[in-house]
Amino acid sequence: MTAGRDSAVGEQASVAPEKAAKGVKRAGSGGGGGASVASGKKAAVTRKAAATRKGAGAGTAAGAAKPVKAAAAKGAAGAGAAGAAKPVKKAVGKAESRTALVRRARRINRELAEVYPYAHPELDFENPFQLLVATVLSAQTTDLRVNQTTPALFARYPTPEDLAAADPEAVEELIRPTGFFRAKTKSIMGLAAALRDEYGGEVPGRLEDLVKLPGVGRKTAFVVMGNAFGRPGITVDTHFGRLVRRWKWTEETDPDKVEKAVGELFPKSDWTMLSHRVIFHGRRICHARRPACGACPIAPLCPAYGEGETDPEKARKLLKYEKGGFPGQRLKPPQSYLDAGGIPAPPLGATAPPPATGE
């Protein structure tokens, strides 16, 4: 609105002085005296020149105001990206300052907290040992497939001692659905033996101890620390890395460098839940191949808006899990997830229920 008024004022300023100058010129001509005429003409020329300069200045101001008005319109359209017919990309300048980046990143986290108040680790587990094994098995497969596989595994080998003493071929057969089952069998039996021999059958809660276990890297260690022991950590999986690069939080691709760069944008106390929210968003809305930009609640804050489907109706059809009315990845999800409309995943071999209607 301010830009519109400035433009109107500029236009009036460029026209009104010209009319005033003409009026003075006519008045001078009607005075009868040669000196008066000359004086009137001189005054008119002087005032007209001044008016021209003033009009040019006002015109420049009006021209500068127009982009501001356009930017405001874009912001208004972007703010309603989730429901507007044609949401507009909210651009983030290439020269975004460090302070601006931190503010935008933390605002995205707050927005995601409202969208996913039930965010949680999507692996079923009842104790640190189960979470550790499930996280190792989740490499190169979905959490859903792991959750459908681990019930039989943990029923047969409930403790590290049991798994360490198991027949490798029997373990391979149980975890075959997760893929790379031979390598994974070696890892989980190796970590089980290490827990038995070095930690009294208990999972350690320190990063430096966890990463020494077979098949356990920093990502797995932070999953266990954050969700089994309540110690903050950032989980950099494929979803997390993809989204933080889309949001221009970092350009790094190495998981350890991503972890460090993102960790510097947030207080340590936010790390674990930030990881859950970003991963939830990546699985449900901000997909790798076709993001549902038109249904994204943080579109106004996203530099990558427009890479995916921007039409709201078409975008809503791309939503997954509870956002699209489909089952989630856990067979036993938290109650908060169920209260939000989430549907438990079916067990291995069972038929998934159809998507909920009315979404």
d(CA 294, CA 306): 8
Please give the positions annotated as active site.
Answer: 219, 237
How would residue 215 be classed by pLDDT, with cut points 50, 70 and 90? very high
List phi, psi (to 5°) of 79. Answer: -60, -25
Average pLDDT over residues 104-128: 98
Cβ-proximal residues to 50 (8 Å cutoff; 6+ apart), any chain: 17
Tell me which residue of 116, 83, 144, 117 sits closest to 284, measured CA to CA. 116
Q: What's the confidence (pLDDT) of residue 309? A: 98
How would residue 217 be classed by pLDDT, with cut points 50, 70 and 90? very high
Q: What's the confidence (pLDDT) of residue 95? A: 85
Tokens 């005054």 label which residue?
A: 43
Structure tokens at 61: 């101001």
Structure tokens at 84: 């507007």
119 class by beta-carbon count within 10 Å (0-12 exposed, 13-18 middle, 19+ buried): buried
Strand partners, 327: 343
Is the CB of residue 291 less than 8 Å from the CB of residue 308?
Answer: yes
Q: For 234-256, how does the pLDDT look when each residue is reduced to its tens digit (9 = 90+)? A: 999 999 999 999 999 999 999 99
Inform me whether the pLDDT recorded for 139 exceeds 80: yes
Cβ-proximal residues to 340 (8 Å cutoff; 6+ apart), any chain: 117, 118, 322
Inform me whether the pLDDT recorded for 161 exceeds 50: yes
Q: What's the confidence (pLDDT) of residue 350? A: 81
DSSP string for 172-188: HHHHGGGS-HHHHHHHH
Q: What's the confidence (pLDDT) of residue 58? A: 40
Is the CB of residue 162 less than 8 Å from the CB of residue 155?
Answer: no
d(CA 104, CA 92): 10
Q: For 221-232, how does the pLDDT look when each residue is reduced to its tens digit (9 = 90+)? A: 999 999 999 999
Is the CB of residue 54 less than 8 Å from the CB of residue 62?
Answer: no
Tokens 């699209």 label which residue?
A: 324
d(CA 149, CA 30): 102
Structure tokens at 259: 């972890």
Average pLDDT over residues 175-201: 97
Q: Give the chain's mean pLDDT.
A: 81
Q: For 99-114, how does the pLDDT look when each residue is reduced to its tens digit (9 = 90+)? A: 999 999 999 999 999 9
pTM reported for the whole predicted model:
0.74
Chain center to CA of 33: 78
Is the CB of residue 165 less than 8 Å from the CB of residue 177?
Answer: no
Is the CB of residue 233 less than 8 Å from the CB of residue 222?
Answer: yes
d(CA 136, CA 124): 13
Helices (H), 128-217: 128-137, 143-156, 160-164, 168-175, 181-198, 207-210
Torsion of CA 240, 241, 246, 249, to 10 degrees: 90
